[in-house]
Amino acid sequence: MNFSSDNIQLFLAVLDRGSFSAAARALQRVPSAVSMAIGNLEAELGYPLFERGAREARPTAQARALEPHARLIAEQLGLLQAHALELSQGLESRLAIAVVPNIDQRRLLSAIATLSERYPLLDIELLAAPQEESLHLLDSGRVSLCMAFAGLQVDPRRSFQHVAVEPLVASLAPHHPALRSGRIHNLEDLFDVRQILVCSRDLPLSDPRSLISATHWRCNSLDLAMQIVEAGLGWGDFPLARAAPLFAAGRLVRLDFRNTQNALELPVRVFWLKQQPLGQAARILVELLATR
């Protein structure tokens, strides 16, 4: 009833400019048409919106009460019109992204924040999954982009952009028997200590570089894996950005090896399928990730 996009525009123009004639000039209409439209709206509402003077139109209390709602609707209509235009120019309506939880996600979230400012109505979906599952989500078409570690081989089905290097550090609880007994001096000393892997429950491990110990437990959640290690049930390779606060708090220990640096530095890439050209938002997100 009553309000439409056109008379909301008229209502706000009279509010902002203080008279029907000034509103008419701003909207490139004749003053009589603006005055008649506001009069018809008032007749439908059953109360006046403006008190008419010789040169001005003063808003009534009812008009002031309606003003914030009208401005919100006008803003949303503007966003809707802009988004409709963007869609006609190649912007996808939804962007789904898979990300491996072992990767520091601050770079991705910063890029998404910039993208969402540019396209506020774009529907973005983030799916966190282990390496193998994230790439499977991409290959199956469930997501358009996948932020994951570089594999040992290049998959010809995928294109990629290098975005970062993520250091994974071997971590152990300070009360773990292997640490308390002083058994851990070199990297190979971890062979007999249970390893906690963040990997898929169902898919085979695609990259053996992080597999060191003779025995291991699998976990598909980084947070849970870190809690398992903190409980003294094994050791894990964790992203330095996530483990650093636990090191500082004394809840985990970054192992100090005599024979090598404790940091497995893995390249981080954003992947997409060659046979599925990227939409406008996806292309911009890849560019933002590459420049951060």
User: For position 87, what pLDDT does the model report?
Assistant: 62
Range(s) within the chain of domains with CATH label 3.40.190.10:
94-162+268-290
Reduced to 3 states (helix: H, G, I; strand: E, B; else coil), residue 56 is coil
d(CA 100, CA 106): 13
d(CA 28, CA 8): 16
Q: Which residues pair with 162 in a beta bridge?
A: 269
Rama region for 53: left / alpha / beta (φ>0; ψ in -120 to 50; rest): beta
User: For position 55, what pLDDT does the model report?
Assistant: 80
Range(s) within the chain of domains with CATH label 3.40.190.290:
164-266
Query: To 10 degrees, what angle do helices 20-27 and 31-45 make?
Result: 110
pLDDT tens digits, 164-220: 999 999 999 999 999 999 999 999 999 999 999 998 888 887 777 778 999 999 998
Angle at 67 between CA 120 and CA 4, to 5 degrees: 70
User: For position 83, what pLDDT does the model report?
Assistant: 63
CATH number of 5-89: 1.10.10.10
User: For position 230, what pLDDT does the model report?
Assistant: 97
CATH number of 164-266: 3.40.190.290
Distances (CA, A) of 266 to 65, 82, 152, 168, 201: 58, 40, 10, 8, 22
User: For position 77, what pLDDT does the model report?
Assistant: 81
Architecture of domain 94-162+268-290: 3-Layer(aba) Sandwich (3.40)
Range(s) within the chain of domains with CATH label 1.10.10.10:
5-89
- Which parts of the chain register pLDDT below 70? 1, 81-83, 85-91
